[in-house]
Amino acid sequence: MTYFLFYTFLTFTIIFIFNIFKTSHINQLFTLSFHSKTIKFFLFFNLLSLGGLPPFLGFLPK
């Protein structure tokens, strides 16, 4: 259940950011001018977490 909740939260935040900036492909993220560096950091942090890299949140349930 914990594994499911972590990945649901990570996926929801990525989908939410995609909806805010009206993007449909990852390639469009590099052409956007983000309003703040924290949003950009949070988005790429979540993408790396979904990959399950060790220092990130997605590694914890594994």
Per-residue pLDDT of the chain (62 residues), as tens digits, is 877 888 888 889 888 888 888 888 877 777 776 667 777 788 888 888 877 777 666 666 66
pTM of this prediction?
Answer: 0.66
First to last CA, the chain: 12
List the domain boundaries for the chain: 2-59
Cα(28)–Cα(25) distance, integer angstroms:
6
